[in-house]
Chain A
Amino acid sequence: MSVTDRVRPQGPSLDEEKPGNRDVRRLAFSQQVSKWDVKLSPYLYISPFFLLFALTGLFPLLYTGWVSLHNWNLIGGQGKFIGFENFGFVLGQPYFWNAVGNTLSIFLLSSVPQVVLALLIAAVLDANLRAKTFWRMGVLVPFVVAPVAVGLIFNNLFADQFGLVNEFLGLLGLDPVRWHSDQLASHLAIATMVNFRWIGYNALIFLAAMQAIPRDVFEAATIDGAGRVRQFLSVTVPMLRPTVIFVAITSTIGGLQIFDEPRVFDQSGLGGADRQWQTLTMYIWELGWGQRNFGRASAVAWLLFLMIVLIALVNFLLTRRIANQGGRK
């Protein structure tokens, strides 16, 4: 094929240029430029974000992948290329799987109640309240508190022997909960901190979406005889679907990367004596900064990345299916 290609005359353009009319060429060129302008400019305008992302997001991502294929010490730097040995090693570690379990557990315990409660709070805020702005700003207050500060305060509340929560349980005649040694209890305590910070924030996002719902839909529903609860379930929630998807995906990303709260949950920050609440990010930290093994830490970081992508996809498909079902009524 290629041979015949070469034999063929080099396209009609040569013949056309022969008349040698410069004006025609210039016109064509400036037309070309304005065509580029129309086509390329939008991308140019949006490019700073992507350039920045390439620098601060994509490059570290790829570089982490490169590091994960080597023996790599925090101070000593790059060592031998060892292929996927780090991945193999990490996948064989019970601590890795323990961390995966903890991360998922804390993620579920925080994300699910978070979305549900945020929806409910948003619905209440959407009602005709006095001093609206006060309440709306009020739910955002926990969000401006630094996570480590939240951690320290809740850590005090959840102290095993002399914590407020256990004192209170004692008043009710209940046994103290061993927040720092029982796995599920520690997850609950950490999820509480996360929820404390993020519910208000998510509630405001839902609130914004709710206010965009045309009011006449509600009026119609009221005329049809739907009560407040029925309206919430059958009108508000279905119309919030895109927002729910957005919140679900972002809270998945955040929930799987949870670090601050479990890290300050006890004094040593390694996730408990039996690693009851060691999350994946904490495991990365332990490998990278505790053991100074950047190679293995990067391997875990990549596995975490893949996990997030996977779960976000599942998330997306699930919510889309629900959305479709609801939408075709």
Chain B
Amino acid sequence: MKFPRKLAALSASAACLALALSGCGADAPTSAGPTGETGKEPVTLSLATFNEFGYEDLLKEYQTLNPNVTIQHKKAATTNEARDNLTTRLAAGSGLSDIEAIEVDWLSELKEYPDQFVDLKDPAVEGRWLEWKTEAATTQDGHLIGYGTDSGPEAVCYNAALLEAAGMPSDRESVAKMLGTTWDSYFDAGKKFVAAGTGPAWFDSAGAIYQGMSNQMSKAYENEDGTVIAADNPEVKEVYTKVLNASTKDNLSAHLGQWSNDWVAGFQSQKFATTLCPGWMLGVIEGNAAGVKGWDVANVFPGGGGNWGGSYLTVPSQGKNQAEAKKLAAWLTAPEQQIKAFTAKGTFPSQVEALTSEELLGQTNAFFNNAPTGKIFAERAKAVGDSPFKGPKFFAINDAMQQALTRVDVDKSDDAEASWAKFLTAVKSL
């Protein structure tokens, strides 16, 4: 019998709806605006983050520096949990923390509701971050939603032992040269690798490669005015075809869905030689490939630069202590503090000044053959181009696209054309 499950579902939906309801009657905030005076009245600030931001010691430091401030830190275990919490309470109109951390991926949908967030634009912090980092969090009318914390500049990780076995160069510099700066040169190197016939594939997943390529399009799926162009954008179709040609015709793909169990196992059984890796991916690879020797990082990314992931601190406008919250957010995201967070938890900075810090540049990673990861990713961060425009439907369309790629690359249940047709249907249904 399934009564308990039904009950749980019922009460959950009731809770959601109750929250949504109270949102209808949300009253206007009666607080001092973001420009109010700070540093006098005793105030308790709440800060909501997820995973590891490395803020524990910093918060203590801030409370010593500002005796009037008490900080309550709420940590969600996963980003999904944090996102559900954020959207539900945004809808409810109350219950959010004074500072809410958000992920770069949520920006496109949150930017739809700029009045839910305090405009954090401030001459004092201008030029603090890499340009693309701030640009991604700014709406078209110049409203800055959040202060950047960490970032995910991408490089290429590779398994040197597999390259060697195929008779290819395997040290960092020559691999970077061999992979080249375009996707064509990356795929060409792959063809050479596969031609050697050692067994493993060149890359892990067509979906992962597409993600890297599509992030370099200035606008993939939507125009600024909200019209969906995914179906007619020749760039999208071109990248789609290119990735799938590499996957099926040239057989460069290991046909693994990224994050699937097979993908995780693929690291142990050495099914592929390269994978695109933002800084935070190093930890993932190290965990999945524990015991496998030969992983290294090449200071290169095909097609220019790329960023995957990274977070922001926002100040929701429903908060009561906006001025104090803004002050704390600005302090936490200052280069000096971000470097401390980086040392504590490895969150790679998005602040220009932090990228030149000795501590960051001196960092190496033992698992990746002692690669100077600090230096490599600092350079990768500077190579990231303009941030692509992502409209409110980006998530849904991108999901449909990833499914289209998976049908061909992993499931092999459709060919590229049939799968594209299904993608078009999916986009139309949005």
Contacts of B116 in A (CB 8 A): 75
Contacts of A315 in B (CB 8 A): none
Q: Contacts A60-B17, A74-B87, A95-B429 given; indicate if A266 touches B1 (C-beta within 8 A).
A: no
- Out of B2, B9, B411, name the residue touching A180 (CB < 8 Å): B411
Contacts of B258 in A (CB 8 A): 267
Q: Contacts A74-B91, A181-B410, A198-B2 given; indicate if A291 touches B260 (C-beta within 8 A).
A: no
B145 at interface by CB-CB < 8 Å: no
With a 10 A CB-CB cut-off, give which of A59, A162, A202, A251 has the most chain B CB atoms.
A162
Contacts of B399 in A (CB 8 A): 268, 270, 290
Contacts of A202 in B (CB 8 A): 1
- Out of B6, B14, B261, B405, name the residue touching A159 (CB < 8 Å): B261
A291 B11 Cβ-Cβ under 8 A: no
B90 A205 Cβ-Cβ under 8 A: no
- Out of A77, A78, A266, name the residue touching B257 (CB < 8 Å): A266
Give the Cβ gap from A86 to chain B, nearest Cβ, in Å. 13
Contacts of A147 in B (CB 8 A): 5
Contacts of A135 in B (CB 8 A): none
Q: 1/0 per position for B372-393, CB-CB distance to A under 8 A?
A: 0000000000000000000011
B14 A56 Cβ-Cβ under 8 A: yes
Q: Contacts A75-B91, A161-B265, A250-B1 given; indicate if A63 touches B402 (C-beta within 8 A).
A: no
What band does the interface of chain B fall in when counting residues whose beta carbon is under 8 Å from A?
Answer: 35 or more
Q: Contacts A64-B17, A95-B429, A268-B402 given; indicate if A274 touches B256 (C-beta within 8 A).
A: no
Contacts of B414 in A (CB 8 A): 274
Q: Contacts A76-B113, A77-B91, A159-B265 given; indicate if A267 touches B2 (C-beta within 8 A).
A: no
The CA of A255 and the CA of B6, in the complex, are separated in Å by: 10
Q: Determine, out of B19-27, B70-78, B324-332, B359-367, the stretch whose residues face the partner at the interface.
A: B19-27
The CA of A246 and the CA of B2, in the complex, are separated in Å by: 11
B411 A273 Cβ-Cβ under 8 A: yes
Contacts of A95 in B (CB 8 A): 426, 429
Which residues 256-293 of A sit at the B interface, judged by CB distance below 8 A? 257, 259, 266-268, 270, 272-275, 289-292
Q: Contacts A74-B91, A274-B407, A292-B109 given; indicate if A93 touches B429 (C-beta within 8 A).
A: yes
A94 at interface by CB-CB < 8 Å: yes
The CA of A275 and the CA of B91, in the complex, are separated in Å by: 29
Contacts of A275 in B (CB 8 A): 403
Can you name the residue of chain A whose Cβ is closest to the Cβ of B15?
A: A56
Q: 1/0 per position for B260-286, CB-CB distance to A under 8 A?
A: 111101100100000000000000000
Q: Contacts A94-B425, A268-B402 given; indicate if A181 touches B265 (C-beta within 8 A).
A: no
The CA of A161 and the CA of B261, in the complex, are separated in Å by: 9
A196 at interface by CB-CB < 8 Å: no
The CA of A22 and the CA of B429, in the complex, are separated in Å by: 74
| Prevailing SS type, chain B contact patch | helix
B10 A77 Cβ-Cβ under 8 A: no
Q: Contacts A77-B91, A162-B265 given; indicate if A205 touches B14 (C-beta within 8 A).
A: no
Contacts of B196 in A (CB 8 A): none
A101 at interface by CB-CB < 8 Å: no
Q: 1/0 per position for B102-116, CB-CB distance to A under 8 A?
A: 000000010011001
- Out of B21, B410, B430, name the residue touching A63 (CB < 8 Å): B21
The CA of A274 and the CA of B402, in the complex, are separated in Å by: 11
A160 at interface by CB-CB < 8 Å: yes
Contacts of A290 in B (CB 8 A): 395-396, 399
B412 at interface by CB-CB < 8 Å: yes
B17 A251 Cβ-Cβ under 8 A: no
B14 A251 Cβ-Cβ under 8 A: no
B396 A273 Cβ-Cβ under 8 A: no
Give the Cβ gap from A54 to chain B, nearest Cβ, in Å. 11
The CA of A317 and the CA of B112, in the complex, are separated in Å by: 50
The CA of A78 and the CA of B23, in the complex, are separated in Å by: 10
A267 B11 Cβ-Cβ under 8 A: no
A254 B6 Cβ-Cβ under 8 A: yes
Which residues 31-71 of A sit at the B interface, judged by CB distance below 8 A? 55-57, 59-60, 63-64
The CA of A101 and the CA of B256, in the complex, are separated in Å by: 27
The CA of A268 and the CA of B404, in the complex, are separated in Å by: 13
Q: 1/0 per position for A284-311, CB-CB distance to B under 8 A?
A: 0000011110100000000000000000
Contacts of A181 in B (CB 8 A): 410-413
B262 A161 Cβ-Cβ under 8 A: yes
Give the Cβ gap from B18 to chain A, nearest Cβ, in Å. 8
The CA of A255 and the CA of B5, in the complex, are separated in Å by: 10
Contacts of B109 in A (CB 8 A): 75, 292
Can you name the residue of chain B whose Cβ is closest to the Cβ of A254?
A: B2
A163 at interface by CB-CB < 8 Å: yes
A105 at interface by CB-CB < 8 Å: no
Can you name the residue of chain B whose Cβ is closest to the Cβ of A92?
A: B429
Contacts of B413 in A (CB 8 A): 181, 273-274
A103 at interface by CB-CB < 8 Å: no
A-B contacts, 19 of them at CB < 8 A, read A57-B10, A57-B14, A77-B20, A77-B23, A77-B24, A159-B265, A162-B269, A180-B257, A180-B410, A180-B411, A181-B410, A250-B3, A250-B6, A253-B2, A254-B3, A259-B9, A275-B403, A290-B396, A292-B392
What would 11 more interface pairs be, CB under 8 Å, given A76-B113, A163-B262, A275-B403?
A: A56-B11, A63-B17, A78-B24, A161-B265, A181-B412, A250-B2, A251-B2, A259-B9, A274-B403, A274-B407, A290-B396
Give the 5 A-B CB pairs with smallest separation, nearest first.
A254-B2, A181-B411, A273-B406, A267-B259, A250-B1
